[in-house]
Amino acid sequence: MEKKCTEEERNSINKKVIKFIEKNRPHINPSTISIIIEKYIGLNNNNYKIIISDKESKKILDEYFLKIFKNRLDNKKLESDVQKILGEKDLGPKVLELNDEEKYRFDEFLPNISYIELNICLDENIIENILKIILGFNNLYHFCLYNIDNNYKISYIENKSIMNKNKEIISIDFDINSFNQHINEYLPKGIIVLNKFIEDYNANKNIINLDNKIKNLKNYVDNYKSILVEEIYKHEGYFIFSHSDFHRGNVVHMGNNFDKLFVLDNEFVNLNLLGYDLIYYLVKSVFNHGIVENYFDLSKFYKIYLKYINIFLNEFNGFKVDDNNNDNNNLINAKNYVEKIASSKEYFLRLVKLVLFFDIIYCCDLINFENEFVNKKPIFGFFDYLYLNIEILKKIEVCDISKI
């Protein structure tokens, strides 16, 4: 959604653009150009399309995408490193410049892009290309064993890492994982915001009746940690590098070329459960301001998921045990885990629950009663979206696994 810039904002961006041009585009004379700025709303960044044109001829000379990081984003360096690799592999826009000090980045501007449309998001050709991108992410880091103790502390099991050889391995702290992110960041914030939401609701009960919905939501939030560990994450398993926000709105194609897809918005890259990105794409592909029932087909999703698992198993030819550990049983155990556990319907359903469960607590941090139910002019209806996740989660919890 496009939004107007303030004069102060525009002046600040103009300085950044001129600085970028002087350093990276010596053939362009800053005194002879016009700078057009188009702002787009983002939750974690301020995003701008920059158009450089000649003042006299009005000819467009260059276009960039500028991303200014908000304080909320802690892993901007990791995001940019990943974006750089993806750009080099032609899986995303190229990074043109990263300014660590001032917290902004210039990216290549991709012209004529469109998001993956709902009616084609599960087409075979689209899925094939989706799998290539997801596996591209998976190959950026090790396949490593984690453990969660009874105090909900997560650790990396030393000397059990399965290394990805002949690949470009990024540098990442093991603490950057989806479990830590949701337990330590989103949950505490979500509880505070939910309590404020309930307080505002109780003061405005004449507007709308949400009693049952709030009761169900509070039950999930109050039992968040135990549900996450006992029903979804389990105490031990494997992490793989993931995009972690891989919905169809973050995958684009240029023109009518559906054979070439690009992934955007790598803000949430982290270590996550094997298969999470694909399940996130499949589940969120059916969200279109409400669930599209005909698309939510667990049997179809599971077949696509098994295709991903089979490709991932082939990747084990490119894995090895840690150089400091010659125990090849680590590699055998990891492969067995994928073959027997990660390929199971039970694990598949846990991933579906995880996608829904994560979005519930993430949206708790964003709900606002006044915006959504009093003013009725929200940027996005986070409470309705949140509760849609709960409704689907309840269906998943009682589904017959034998019929998948």
| Residue with tokens 């599960």, as numbered in its chain | 122
Q: Which CA distances in Å does 55 have to 30, 66, 94, 118, 142?
A: 10, 21, 27, 41, 50
Q: N- to C-terminal Cα distance for the chain?
A: 38
Cα 129 to Cα 14, 63, 118, 126, 306, distances in angstroms: 37, 27, 16, 5, 16
pLDDT on residue 125: 93
pLDDT-based confidence at residue 79 (cuts at 50, 70, 90) = confident
Q: Classify residue 83 by burial, with Cβ atoms within 10 Å: 0-12, 13-18, 19+.
A: buried
Q: State the Cα torsion 183-188-189-194 to the nearest 10°.
A: 110
Report which of 290, 385, 395 is spatially closest to residue 352, judged by C-alpha positions: 395
pLDDT of 90 higher than 60: yes
Contact 110, 116 (CB under 8 A): no
Give mean pLDDT, residues 9-28: 93
Query: pLDDT tens, 95-141?
Result: 999 887 778 899 999 888 888 888 888 999 999 999 999 999 998 88
How many Å apart are CA 142 and CA 156, to the nearest integer?
A: 12
| Ranges for all domains in the chain classified under CATH 3.90.1200 | 113-403
Answer whether residue 268 shows pLDDT above 60. Answer: yes
Please spell the DSSP secondary structure of 64-114, one letter per residue. EEEEEE-TT-S-HHHHHHHHHHHHHTTSSPPEEEEETTTTEEEEEPPTTEE
Euclidean distance between CA atoms 61 and 8, whole angstroms: 25
Quick check: 391 and 218 in contact, CB under 8 A? Answer: no
Model confidence at 2: pLDDT above 60: no
How would you classify the pairing of strands 33-40 and 319-321?
A: unpaired
Return the ∠ at Cα 167 (arms to 133 and 259), rounded to 5°: 25
pLDDT digits (tens, 9 = 90+) for 190-243: 999 999 999 999 999 888 999 999 999 999 999 999 999 988 999 999 999 999
As a whole number, the mean pLDDT across the chain is 88
| Confidence band for 32, pLDDT divided at 50, 70 and 90 | very high
What is the 8-class DSSP label of residue 116?
A: P
Q: pLDDT above 90 covers what percent of the chain?
A: 60
Phi, psi dihedrals of residue 234, rounded to the nearest 5°: 65, 165
- Residue 325: pLDDT over 60: no
Q: Which range scores top for mean pLDDT: 157-166, 294-303, 325-334?
A: 294-303
Q: What is the pLDDT of residues 331-384, one digit of tens each?
A: 888 999 999 999 999 999 999 999 999 999 989 989 999 989 988 776 678 999
pLDDT interval class at 41 (50, 70, 90): low
Predicted TM-score (pTM) of the model is 0.89
Domain ranges in the chain with CATH number 3.30.200: 2-108
Give the length of the chain: 404
Pick the CATH number of 2-108 from 3.40.1440, 1.10.10, 3.30.200, 1.10.3470: 3.30.200
Phi then psi for residue 391, to 5 deg, are: -65, -40
Distance in angstroms (rounded) separating the CA atoms of residues 227 and 390: 14
What pLDDT is stored for residue 219 in this prediction? Answer: 95
Look at residue 171 in the predicted model and tell me its pLDDT.
84
* Segment 251-260 mean pLDDT: 86
Give a three-class secondary structure readout of 238-291.
EEEEECCCCCHHHEEEECCEEEEEEECCCCCCEEEECCHHHHHHHHHCCECCCE
Domain boundaries 113-403, corresponding CATH code = 3.90.1200
